[in-house]
Each structure stands twice: as C-alpha cells, then as structure tokens.
Structure 1
Amino acid sequence: MEQMMIIAAQMLFSLVFGALFLVFARIFDASVLKPRRLRSAIVKQGIRGPVPSNLYGNIPEMKRIAESQKPMEKNSAEKMIHDWFLVVFPHLEQWRNEYGSTFLYSTGTIQFLCITDAEMVKEMSLCTSLNLGKPSYLSTERGPLLGRGILSSNGPYWAHQRKIIAPEFYLERVKGMVSLMVESTKAMLKTWEKKMEDSGGKVEIMVDEDFRSLSADIISRVCFGRIYVVGEKIFSQLQSLQRLMSKGSIGVPGMRHLPTKHNRELWRLEREIDSMILGVVQSRNSDDDNDKKDLLQLLLAAAENEGDDSKNIPADMTPSKFIVDNCKNIYLAGHETTSISASWCLMMLAAHPDWQARAREEVLEICGMNMPTSDVLRNMKVLDMVIQETLRLYPLVAYVVREALQDIHFKGLNIPREATIQVPIPRMHQDRALWGSDAHQFKPERFGNGVSGACKIPQAYMPFGYGSRTCAGHHFAMAELKVILSLILSKFRCSLSPAYHHSPVFRLAIQPQHGVCILLQKL
C-alpha cells in the first residue's frame, strides 16, 4: 500500500512538473523565441534597428530618448512651430535618421516594422487582402477601450461589423444628419453668447470641453437616439480610460494581467463603462419607441441575428459583448476624435486671421443668414482646404498599424506572419520630399486642387487611415467639422488668447496638452 502511494505521488509530481514545464516553455517561446524569430526574418533582409532587451524590447531606450528631449518652447501665433514630430516622437526620428526610412524596433515582445517609405506606404494602402489586418494588441492590451469592435477586429468578423456600421455613415445618410449637427451646435453657441453678454462683448473660452460635449451630443443623437446628458458619464469615463491607458506600455509579457494599481483602475473603469452601456441598451429595449432604425437598433438586431451572418461572429462573443465593444468604438471614434479636430481647426483659424477672414467670407456668401445645409456644405471650398491642412499638420491618429495575419510581400520585402507594420502619420504628412520645402507651414492653398495636387504621392495623406480600413465615419466627421466651424465663423471673430501654450502631445490621439484658449468677439 505504501509503495503504491509512493508511485502515485511520483506520477502526480511528474504530471505537475510536466504541466509546469509546458507552461514555462510556452511562455518562453512567446516572450523570447518568437520575437527573435520574427526579428531575425526581417533583419536578414537588410532591415536594421536598435537592439532590444528580451522582455521590455526598446521601451527603456524610448524613455531615455524622451527624457533627453527638450520640451517645445512657447510660441506666439506669428511664430508657431508645426514641426512637432521630433518633440513628441523623438525615438522614431532618431532611429529613422540612424537606420533609414524602414527600421525595426520593439515594445516588449511586439515587433514594429516602422515604415516611412512613401512608395511602400502606397503599395500597402492599395492592398485589399484580409491577410493585412489590425494588430492583436488592440483587442488585448487595448481591450478595455476597444474590445473586439470594428476598430480592432479582423477577417470575416470585421467584415460583418463593417457591413452593419459603415452604411450608416455613407454620404447620403450623413446628409440627413446635418440638421441635428446644426441644432446641437446652435445650442453650444447660445451659451457662448450668454457668456459674452455677461463679460461686455468679448470672452475668453477654453473650447476643448465645449467641443467634447458638442461632439458627444451629436454622436449620441445620431447613433443612439439619445441626448448627450444621458451618456455623459459614459463619455467622461471613456476619456478617463483613454488617459490612463496612454500612460502604460504595451507588449511587456504578462504585465496586463498583474493586479497593479494601474491595471486595477483600468479594470474598474472597464466594468463601469460596460455596465453603463448595457444600461442604455436595456432602456432602449424597454422604450415604446424601440423600433427606431438608428445604429444602436441595428447593433441590437445584429447581436440577436441567428441567420447566415451569425457564423462570422466568434463563438465566445456574447450578444452583450458584441454590442458593448462596438458602442465603445463608435463613442470613441465619433466623439473624442472630432472634438479634438475641431479644437485644432479653430486654433489654426485664430492664429491665421487672413484665412479666417477668407473662410468667413465664403460662409456668409453661401449661407447668408440661413443655417448651413448638406447641399451648401460641399460648396465651402475654403473651409474644406483649411480642415484638410489642419488634419495634415495635426492628424488625430499617430499611426496606421497593421499586422501581417499571413506572410505578406511589399516592395521587395517579405513581412513574416505576426509582424506589426507601423506607419507614423505625422511623419508622412510633413515629409518635405512629398509636400515641398514648406511642409511645416500652414498653407491651405496647397489643397486647392485636392490631395493629388497637394502631395506627390496622395496615399501618403491619411488623416482617416488608408485602404479598406479607412475610417467608416470620415464623411460624417468632415460634415460635422464644417457645420461647427461655419456657424462659429458666421457669429464670432476669434483670436488666440495670450494664455494659449502650443504643445501637442500624444495620448492615444494627438491633442493640445494645455487645451485651446480662444478670445471670441461678436461680429
């Protein structure tokens, strides 16, 4: 009997040891061997880059370079410097100068093939293969913010989501949303006029928060049949989650699973946001008017669909998770990005009174005393040039990122499966070889003949991404920006406040670190 117990104990020990060995082997392969294999496959083709450590990659070096970089000096409107890429992303500029236009670096175990070669970017932008998708870290490391919604999913599941969401933002549908945009913007401007009356005809306004509330109200009305106040807490918590997530590093093995103070706060925010979104969904289900054909209703119908399209939904994706992930994606894409773009656009108009006057003259000539409509928005050519140039100098998204879901080939380079391709948008948007010697200057006239007339390789202009993954809401965003700016220009003259400090910063989006402070005067 004792002998049998000894044998059983030995067998149990062997099983436990074997299981632990397998777990360790998998962890070692994922954190050390696989990154080395990916890196080796790329380095053998002549691509170079800084040497990474096993667990942290080049994160320590990135921090050292950032700490040695001088902050951007405060500039007046007349001397505003738009060449901010070196300050915000000094590691990328340093490595590009050292290793060439295509180089390799890593954050933790994630291998980034950073590409600033315009011809290769053009080739990638024309690729429609589903083998070039979004990186897996977007749904894991950035999972609390993006989940597996349309912004982070791949393959048939992404195609299924785009089939539902994209038609809601087609140009013809957007035309019907303009009146709602006008209504919401007028309400915001009334508060500005009231402040102006109380302050004697001129007022200083930090426009960022007002634009956030405005864009939140618009996306809530258009997509979810609700005014902003209903989802105010959701937007606030998403913003907190975004700020918190921008402080962490990605790719460090196991870090996102540890119960650190940072992670516990992430998990808390994620739970609260998911719960609040499900609350909105439940209130919609109990409404008498729940047959509204807005985007939320389409998502509800898709989540309950058991037809042919349901085979594209992963088995572990519950209906509630499907709805929550896509609502977060839409809230994020339709709220934060548009509000920041509006802030940058108004800042540029305030800093350049000549273009402000030209844009105002166009708006008043086209609209007169009437509110802008979808028919007249397309005739606002000057305002269109101003917006395009602002998005060139201050794109909201810092990178276009793709993952090779299978081995793929671009411009003589074989990119192995699971390698992440990164294109730094600001670097492409300010490349003198593409835009000319004045690439760092605000010159909206460069877009007088469209993007093809402004840039030697039009595919290098990508404020809304590129290829088949171009932002589904780009028509919506452009219409919203035109409505907001045209109504402001028709009522106010604006200039930069002396308190404005020009300091772009990267917090998962390119945004003004200290906000945009504007002096407004009634026309």
Structure 2
Amino acid sequence: MTRVHQIGLSNVLVLAAGLWLVSTVVKRLVKAPGTKLNGPPSESLFFGASRKTARAPDSSVVFEEWAAQYGPVYEVPTAMWGRRIILCDPKAVSHFYSMERSIYVKSKLGRTLIANLFGRGLLWAEGESHKRQRKALTPAFSNAAIRRLTSVFYDSSYKLKAHWDATLETTSDGAIIDVEHWMNLVALDSIGIAGFAHDFRTLDGEYSAVAAAFESLSSKDDSALSKLIFIVGIRLPFLARLPTQRNCTMGNLRRTMSGIADEMLEKIRREKSHATDESFDRSVIGLLLKAEGDGAELHMDRNEVVAQMNVLLIAGYETTSISLTWALIELARNPEKQAKLREELVQFGPADPTWDQLGSALPYLESTVLEILRLHPPIAQTTREALVDDIMPIGEPITTKSGQRVDRIAIPKGTILSVPIRCINRAEVFWGPSAKAFEPERWLTLNDDPLRAKEIQGHRHLLTFLDGPRTCLGKAFALAEFKAALLVLVKNFVFEFPDGPETVIKMQDGLIQRPKVAGQRGPRVPLRVRRVE
C-alpha cells in the first residue's frame, strides 16, 4: 500500500507541475481581469503561500496578521499560480453570504468531496435545487418543532448522567473520563431519536457502525498525498477522486451511512404506514418520506433523501459533540466560570427549563454557549468560487496594488474567495484585546460596548452558523441540544484537568478538526469528573 501511494504521489506531482507550467504561460499571455489586491508574497512557485496557513498551529492568527498588514480584503497566492481572495470586512462578508445561491458557489473540488461523502443532497446542491431541498426540510427545524424535541435532548443527557453516576459510585475522588467519547455518544443518540425516530443506543453500549465510521476519520494522520490534495485541489479538482487513504475512508463512511439510512427509512415506513401523527409528519424523517412520494410538491428522489439523512446525521453528530467537548475544556480551564455557571443553573431550581426558558431565563448559560461558538466554530472557513463576474462592496476602503483607494472591487468569474470564520470570530479588531480569551461575560455587556463585532451579520454577530440563504438550517436544533446537555452536565458534575488547567490542547484532523489533549492517541480529552456536592 505504501509503494502504491508513493507511485501515485510521484505521478500526481509530475502532472501537476505540467499543468502549472501551462497555467503560468496562459496567465502571462492573457491579463487576468479583476481588481489587483495587496497580500502576502508567494513563498513557493508550486504552493504559493498555502503552506504557511496549512502548517500554522492556528491558521486564523495568520489570516488576522495578514488583514492587519494588507487590509481587510486581500489576496493570497495559492498553489500553481492561483490566487484566493480573503474577506475580513463585514460588509464584504455580508455580500458574499447573501449571494451564495446566485454568485458564490462551491468549487468543483468542494462539490466532488461532498458528493463522495454525503451524496447529492442539501449540502451539495446549488441554486434552485438547494432552494427546493431546503424548503422541504425547513418545517422540521421551526421553533415549534424544536420546542417538542427539547425533552429528547434532556433524556439523552440524563442517560449519560446515570452512566457517570454509576462509575462515580466506586470512587471517592472522582474518575478520569474521556469526555469527548461520551459527547460523541450523547450527540449521536440525540440526533437519531430527535431527527429520525431511531435510537442508536450507543449510550447503552451498543455498537454503532455510524460512530465507528466517524471515528475512523480521526484515527490516523493524513498521508502526504492527502495533504497535497488539500493544498492544490482547488486548481486540480480531479485529485478528489484519487484512491488516497482519506478518500477511501470517506467512501466507506458514505456507504455505511447510506446503508443505515436505508434501514431507518424502511423501518419507519413499516411502523408509520398506517399511523397518523402530525408531529411525525413535520419531523425530519416524516418530511423526507413525504418528499419521496411521487406526488410531492417538493419531490426528492431516493438518492437525495438518503443524502439529506447523511448530512443531518453527520452534522448533528460532529458539530454538537465537538462544541460540547470544547465547552467542558474551557470550563475545566476556568473553574471560577464553571462555578458561576453552576450557580445560575442551581438557582433556577430542580425543574428542567423549557425550550423558551433555555433561551431567555439563563443568561450565563446563553453567554457560555455563545462564547464557545465564537472561540471554537466547528467549521473554520467558507470557501466559494465566483460563478459570474461581480462587484463586491467593502465597508472599510482598501488600497489596491496600484495604490488606489477603493470601496468596492471587481471579482471576475472563477475567482476563489474565502471567509475565515474562526479568524473573524476571534479577531481583536472586532472583539477587543480579550478576543482570544474565554469570557462569557462579554455577551452580558455586548450591547453597551463600542465593539466592531456588531458590524458582523449572522447569529448574534457570529459567523459560526454562516449567513444568508445557506445559513445553517439546524441552528435552533443545535443550540437547544447544546444548552440542554451542558445544563445537565454542569449542574451535576465538576470538571477538572488531571494535570491542571494549563494542560495543552491540540487539534486532531478528521472530517472536522477535533480537540485533543496533547500526547493522546486520537481525539481524546480525559477529565477528572466529580459529583457536585
């Protein structure tokens, strides 16, 4: 297998070098349209400046430094004489997201990777296809629907509590528990029941092919060929189809997910064929079954239905479990803030808050959740390609390469643009000197603070859920699940790092990057867990 990968990498490098040479000649003969922007110099004829961000411990810091030096809209040289425009200006970012269906779309590489992993569903679709699929699923994520599902989130969290209580019965000073593993289980069981009326029962110890497939993506470091594809793939989209270790693993995950989706669909068809349940009809699985019908107004074929299930399962599992893990990490690092949150939860009383109370009656819980989503967005950036020429407005005028001051730039068709979400969420220019610190208190005074963060569109001035017509459809679902689970855990348990709050956290590559305690094999976060006295 190693020799095959070595030969494949050599062939790819030769081919890529040839295509790069042709591209270079063409670009020198034909003057590329569009506004010429300032930006960092190329560090490599082949890779441009891509390796600087790829190798950085935190690429968002690099993007922030470049924005300070070159302005809030700048360009970065990428692999094979390409370029990418980076948007750190709120007005430009808002325009970018508002035009996602019509102008700024996924690149060929991005769509190929999504199709390989999820199928051609909502995440893959563009234009009218995306509009149709999103409209079919929207009722499942209404406020009324989430209000009904809140009890499911509590049930999964209390099941987790019962398991930890049993473990702590045998100890007097707490137990070392890999909280990331358990956050994965509670997230998967919750999305299974709430979204698809299917209990994976992973919290009860049952094996789940879905969980095993997800974990396989984070179990090993990417090969050299996989890393090459990541850097030059925008220029050479066919690389996404090569049989690298990562692509093969993703293919296995999709096949596993599709098989499970088929089983769930068939099970629900049998159980609900003669039942009439209005709430079921407006659930995710109910709406998918309805859309699958030949006479459905917003019809989806079988492949689209299965693709939606794949997307929603993975999104519900990965993003929620990662956010919950980060919450426990930050609270373990900051015991005084953990105690402050627990005090608010205990003072609320023994009853579980309703969905409405989760959003209004617990301000420090709300602030803690928002601060985690600000500091640790699961998706670090959005990258799109201009489908047609565009003129993009800029809120803060910039200086072009020719020295001209402009408040709008010309974006030619085919231009690659990125919004560095993590960078903007954590940038000092928007959030002040404490931008990199975990401070839930900032949300309690944000309306009165003269911070530029209020220029940013999106949920509570964050880009974590994106913005515009492709705003995360499951935002309310994710927030309710996050708050319910965190409430149950912090109210009942104390979390500490066994080696102290200065424990180093690193990132583990996977479908989405996950936190891990430095030195652990794979994404593991062992914490000392004690009962609240």
Normalised by the length of structure 2, the TM-score is: 0.78
Structure 1 pair 244–424 and aligned structure 2 pair: CA distance change class (3 A) = farther
Choose the corresponding residue for 1:503, options 486, 501, 506: 506
The code of the aligned residue for 1:345 comes to A
Query: 2:332 touches 2:497 (CA, 8 Å); kept in 1?
Result: yes
Deviations 1:471-491 (A, max 9, x none): 111111111111111111221
Q: What's the counterpart of residue 529 of structure 2?
A: 520
Contact 1:132 1:403 in 2 (8 A): yes
AA at the equivalent of 1:234: V
Mapped to 2, the partners of 1:278 and 1:35 lie a distance apart of 48
1:288-437 → structure 2 map (5 Å cutoff):
291=275, 292-293=280-281, 294-306=283-295, 309-310=298-299, 319-366=301-348, 368-378=349-359, 379-411=361-393, 412-437=408-433
Please say if residues 431 and 439 of structure 1, whose CA atoms lie closer than 8 Å, have aligned partners that are also in contact. yes
Q: Which residue of 2 aligns with 1:120?
A: 92
Contact 1:31 1:253 in 2 (8 A): no
Shift of 1:175: 0.9
CA 1:264–1:364 in structure 2 vs 1: closer, same or farther (change >3 Å)?
Answer: closer
Assess if the C-alpha contact under 8 Å between 1:245 and 1:266 holds in 2: no
**What is the alpha-carbon distance in structure 2 between the residues aligned to residue 448 and residue 29 of structure 1?**
52
Distance 1:416 1:486, change over 3 A: same
- Output the CA distance in 1 between the equivalents of 2:514 and 2:447: 24
User: How many Å apart are 1:243 and its aligned residue?
Assistant: 6.8
How high is the sequence identity, in percent, across the aligned residues? Answer: 24
Corresponding residue for 2:167? 195
Counterpart amino acid of residue 444 in structure 1: P
Task: For 1:266-281, list aligned pairs within 5 A.
Answer: 266-281=250-265
How do 1:158-169 residues align onto structure 2 when only pairs under 5 Å count? 158-169=130-141
2:478 matches 1:494: no
1:467 aligns with 2:468: yes
In structure 1, distance between residues paired with 2:448 and 2:378: 21
State the 1:405 CA deviation.
2.3
Q: Secondary structure at the match of 1:144?
A: helix
Q: Secondary structure, in 3 states, of the residue corresponding to 2:485?
A: helix
User: Relative to structure 1, is the Cα distance of residues 45 and 295 closer, same or farther in structure 2, using a 3 angstrom cutoff?
Assistant: same
Matched-pair contact (CA < 8 Å) for 1:62–1:91:
no
The answer (yes or no) to whether the contact 2:389–2:411 under 8 Å persists in 1 is yes
Matching residue of 1:32: 23
Report the CA distance shift for 1:503/1:40 in structure 2 as closer, same or farther (over 3 A): farther
In the alignment, what sits opposite 2:266?
Answer: 282
CA distance in 2, matches of 1:44, 1:227: 53
Whole-angstrom distance in 1 between the partners of 2:102 and 2:466: 16
- 2:6 counterpart residue number: none
Change over 3 Å in CA distance of 1:90–1:481 after alignment to 2: closer
2:464 counterpart SS class = coil
Change (3 A) 1:283 1:344: same
Judging changes above 3 Å, is the alpha-carbon distance between structure 1 residues 451 and 185 closer, same or farther for their aligned structure 2 residues? Answer: farther
Name the CA distance, whole Å, in 2 between partners of 1:380 and 1:35: 60
Q: CA deviation at 1:370?
A: 1.7
> Structure 2 vs 1, CA of residues 282 and 452 (structure 1 numbering), >3 Å: closer, same or farther?
farther
Deviation at 1:114, TM superposition (A): 1.7
Rate the CA distance shift 1:426–1:35 in 2: closer, same or farther, 3 A.
farther
Give, as a single letter, the amino acid of the residue that structure 1 aligns with 2:37: G
Distance 1:151 1:35 in 2: 34
What do the CA deviations read for 1:153-193 (whole angstroms, capped 9, x no partner)?
21111011111222211222111111111111100011111
Encode CA deviations 1:256-285: one digit per residue, 9 max, x unaligned. 333445544443443333233223223333
User: AA paired with 2:514?
Assistant: Q
The amino acid that maps onto 1:446 is: R
Point out the more displaced range, 156-165 or 126-135: 126-135
CA gap of 1:257–1:180, structure 2 versus 1, over 3 A, is closer
Matched, 1:62 2:50: yes
Q: Compared with structure 1, are the counterparts of its residues 505 and 432 closer, same or farther at alpha carbon in structure 2 (3 Å cutoff)?
A: farther
Q: Residue 292 of structure 2: SS of its match in structure 1?
A: helix
Answer whether contact 1:395 1:426 (CA < 8 A) is retained: yes
CA displacement, residues 44-72 of structure 1 (integer Å, 9 cap, x when unaligned): 53354555989x654xx5347755x5x6x
Mapping for residues 171-250 of structure 1, pairs under 5 Å? 171-229=143-201, 232-241=208-217, 248=226, 249=230, 250=233
Greater mean deviation of Cα atoms: 212-221 or 346-355? 346-355
Letter in 1 for 2:158: K
Note the alpha carbon deviations across 1:433-480, whole angstroms, 9 max, x for none: 111112122221111145785624232621111222111111111111
In structure 2, C-alpha distance between the alignment counterparts of 1:42 and 1:339, rounded to whole Å:
44
Answer yes or no: is the 8 Å Cα contact 1:48–1:103 preserved in 2. Answer: yes
**Aligned-residue offset at 1:365:** 1.7
In structure 2, the partner of 1:81 is none
Q: Deviations over 1:300-350 (max 9, x none)?
A: 22133445544xx6xxxxx22112211111011111100110111111122
Please give the root-mean-square deviation of Cα atoms over the aligned residues, in Å: 3.4
Residue identity opposite 1:489 in structure 2: V
- Length-normalised TM-score, structure 1: 0.79
Q: Which amino acid aligns with 1:285?
A: R
Q: What is the CA distance between 1:195 and its match in structure 2?
A: 0.8
How far apart are 1:135 and its partner, in Å?
A: 3.5
Change (3 A) 1:392 1:113: same
SS in 1 for 2:113: coil
Q: Name stretches of at least 5 consecutive residues in structure 2 with no aligned partner.
A: 1-14, 394-407, 518-523
Determine the C-alpha separation between the residues in 2 that align with 1:488 and 1:307: 42
SS state at 1:391 partner: helix
Counterpart code for 1:442? F
Aligned-pair CA distance for 1:428: 0.7
- Per the alignment, do residues 30 and 373 of structure 1 end up closer, same or farther by CA in structure 2, a change over 3 Å counting? farther
Query: What secondary structure is seen at the aligned counterpart in 2 of 1:338?
Result: helix
User: Which one of 156, 163, 172 corresponds to residue 128 of structure 2?
Assistant: 156
Q: Is the 8 A contact 2:106 2:384 kept in 1?
A: yes
* Alpha carbons 2:217, 2:246 under 8 Å: kept: no
Tell me, yes or no, if the aligned pair for 2:217 and 2:510 is still in contact at 8 Å: no
CA contact (8 A) 1:495 1:520 kept: yes
The SS at the match of 2:170 is: helix
Corresponding residue for 1:142?
114
Look up the SS of the partner of 1:513 in the other structure: strand
C-alpha contact (below 8 Å) 1:244/1:266 kept by paired residues: no
Q: Return the alpha-carbon distance in structure 2 between the equivalents of residues 355 and 413 of structure 1.
A: 44
Kindly name which structure, 1 or 2, has the bigger radius of gyration based on alpha carbons.
1
Q: How many residues align?
A: 470
Any conservation in 1 of the 2:183–2:325 contact (CA below 8 Å)? yes
* In 2: Cα distance, 1:135 partner to 1:253 partner: 8
